[in-house]
Amino acid sequence: MQSRAEIVDQNFVQRVEGGDLPEPAIRLSLQDAGLSAAQLLQLFESQVLSRQLDLCSRKLQARGESFYTIGSAGHEGNAAIAAAFRPDDMAFLHYRDAAFLLQRARQAGGSYPIWDMLLSFVASSEDPMSGGRHKVLGSAALFVPPQTSTIASHLPKALGTALSIALARRLKHRGALPADGVVLCSFGDASANHSTALGAVNSACWTGYQKLPLPLVFICEDNGIGISTPTPQGWIAACFSQRPGLHYLSCDGLNLLDTYRCARQAEQLARRHHRPVFMHMRCVRLLGHAGSDAQSAYLSAAQIEQTEAQDPLLHSARLLIELGLLKADQIISLYQSTAVEVDVMAERAIGRPRLATAAEVMAPIVPPPRAVPAVAPLDAQALETLFARDRTLLAQPQPMARLLNWTLAELMATHSEILLMGEDIGPKGGVYNVTGKLCEKFGKHRVINTLLDEQSILGLALGAAHNGFIPVPEIQFLAYVHNAEDQIRGEAASLSFFSNGQYSNPMVIRIAGLGYQKGFGGHFHNDNSLTVFRDIPGLIMACPSSGRDATGLLRECIRLAREEQRVVVFIEPIGLYMVRDLLVAGDGLWSFDYVPARDSTPIALGEIGVEGDGRQLAIISYGNGYYLSRQAASDLAEQGIALRLIDLRWLKPLPDAAIVEAVWDCEAVLIVDECRRSGSISEALMTLLIEQIDVPPRLKRLCAEDSFIALGPAATATLPSRATIGQAALALVRDGG
């Protein structure tokens, strides 16, 4: 039995030969579209090449040589969209946009996209974009960051990238994108229903409604079906054509002239008027969702044939013949000679090397360092000016929240590329005033108040990083990150991996979290689980236990983002924000002087804190747990127990060697983990000590219960405390556990 790919292939030749070509929904001239004959021919060549690559991928799959068959057949009209924009307009592409990429490569010159895409199909390590890690549409030279299975997850960062262009102009920041650039973002009609897409579109509307510059073009490629679920007729237009602040345009994606005409209009609105545009391109889907998709399970033979009769290549062939640009036999000759060229190159591609070892696969998880200009710390005069209104407070020890505020201020004054973004962080200064007065000092374009949407906050950060900024987004509470965790996992942390180190998303994500806070309550404001971050490859996570450490850690986090292009999560323990005392009220032992960068040394990645040199017992902890352990240590010392306290500081990757070196000679080790027993860092620590120490010390964990946190007086009932730490330590030392 013939496959649908074979039928579509044969139908094209037979119908062009027989003159059996579909009628257009709208008739336009080249002049109407603003397109030359030579440009139209080039667009058709890109369409044909895209189709032959799809057909070749199906043939290679049947031989076990191709590993990704979500193709572009039916969507080839997007070549006309590429032609309407500049090659340096950053494009976040849908996986059915091969024709777009091929056309952009033609415009830019200097690349050989057929060979590159074939290497991607066969997962060759020589694939110039991903190095064989995934079939992606991407090219650093063509300003196309790679996307994998883009179920709308790329829309927030496209929005952020577009916003960053206007920010760069205002701030005189020399970014990676041109000052008059436009950002494109394409997706399918099914993905348009995803909450991520709706959030990004809503954020664009919110921005456009306020007449803020946003040179962004959303491209919805509407083929009428999402895998097997039909999109209701007229749904996309009904949902997006009347949105405030968003300019809606529509075109027939089967008609190159109409698509190009519409794309030119979108380009002018975005580039000249800095308006967000929603471009609705109606098209068809041929060959099913992917190679493994049996359309006959959910579509009748008549429905499949009706769709195939609207093949955009047939529409383009009719157009070329009617305009007298090519004859039928010339079209067939072009089509068949392209097939031969692709097939010959495919046979070469399948012989190219592939990734073979874990080390090869993992090599780009951590992005390469980059050369950045050295920036001197602020001198005494600059510090005096920066903190003129804080002179009295600076002379006194302060709690963590204020020290974080001053650290952020000094970092922003030192590095003009740092941007803060988050809900309520502007004039209000955030829920806990950690960003207080920063908007006043640095302006609303560097301390950006966002709408209430974590996906958009992180998307703005992702996009700003694409344009050379160092974003420092704030997530108001740890529990809220779950609304947008894929922006960290699937977008920020994976970008270096899927681009073979060519792209990265350096940023420091500030998150207020963990338990023990007073005032607010309940599990939304006291979330004691960091598990969501722990399994993300390449991510760094830091957590201070004191204001002194918060300053040193935050400076190192910014350095890691700026120089090493890392994605860093900085957990700020809410319960310790305003704590001044350690053992008794008024002792001031948890307040610290602010030490400017020029007089201090950052806490390097992997550097732990060690207090005491006792060998009877080591307590390993972090955050609130370390603070409580310091309290318990005072009680234990009174009972003659020689202690050693370890503050992890860096929670991912764990500083394995430093931890082992710090506790190997201890008789017992108590791990105090304020996060829940299941999935907590304590599990990894137990494994580490058992695996890495030949004769492990006696070990015990004290963790939070596997429970959400309650409201009111019961808020700490499930968490470790000064008393329970002391009890666990005594039991371990005296009774062996």
Burial of residue 312, with CB atoms counted within 10 A of its CB: 0-12 exposed, 13-18 middle, 19 or more buried:
buried
Same domain flag for 676 and 728: yes
> CB under 8 Å to 95, separation ≥6 — which residues?
70, 137, 147, 148, 149, 150
The residue to which tokens 């383009």 are assigned: 316
Beta partners for residue 470, in sequence order? 418
Question: Widest CA span of the chain, in angstroms?
Answer: 98
Q: Which of 599, 617, 633 corresponds to the end of one domain? A: 599
Same domain flag for 581 and 627: no
Helix (H, G, I), strand (E, B) or coil at 212: coil
Same domain flag for 434 and 549: yes
Q: What pLDDT digit, counting tens, does each position of 88-139 carry?
A: 999 999 899 999 999 999 999 877 789 999 999 999 999 999 999 988 899 9
Q: Rounded CA gap, 138 and 119, in Å? A: 13
Strands (E) across 604-737 are located at 609-611, 617-621, 643-647, 650-652, 668-676, 698-704
Flag whether 135 is in a domain: yes
Same domain flag for 616 and 595: no
Same domain flag for 454 and 532: yes
Same domain flag for 85 and 31: yes
Same domain flag for 390 and 494: yes
Same domain flag for 617 and 595: no
Flag whether 368 is in a domain: no
Flag whether 358 is in a domain: no
The reported pLDDT for the residue numbered 344 is 96
Amino acid at 246: L
Domain count, the chain: 3
Task: Report the relative pairing of strands 668-676 and 650-652 from DSSP bridges.
Answer: unpaired
Q: What pLDDT digit, counting tens, does each position of 409-465 carry?
A: 999 999 999 999 999 999 999 999 999 999 999 999 999 999 999 999 999 999 999
| Residue range(s) defining the domain that contains residue 515 | 380-599
Q: How far is CA 124 from each of CA 96, 119, 448, rounded to the nearest angstrom?
A: 21, 5, 42
Strands (E) across 432-539 are located at 447-449, 470-475, 507-513
Helix (H, G, I), strand (E, B) or coil at 577: coil
Same domain flag for 277 and 406: no
Sign, Cα dihedral of 335, 339, 342, 345: negative
Q: Which of 565, 580, 599 corresponds to the end of one domain? A: 599
pTM, rounded to two decimals = 0.95
Same domain flag for 623 and 577: no
The reported pLDDT for the residue numbered 148 is 72
Of the chain, the end-to-end C-alpha distance in Å amounts to 70
Which residue ranges in the chain fall short of pLDDT 70? Answer: 1, 149-150, 519-522, 736-737
Token pair for 312: 């955009």
Flag whether 604 is in a domain: no
Helix (H, G, I), strand (E, B) or coil at 458: helix
Task: Report the relative pairing of strands 698-704 and 668-676 from DSSP bridges.
Answer: parallel
Token pair for 612: 């005491």
Q: Which of 599, 630, 655 corresponds to the end of one domain? A: 599
Same domain flag for 647 and 572: no
Flag whether 480 is in a domain: yes
Same domain flag for 240 and 311: yes
Report which secondary-structure segment, H or E, holds 306.
helix 301-308
Residue 564: which CATH number? 3.40.50.970
Residue 680: which CATH number? 3.40.50.920
Flag whether 583 is in a domain: yes
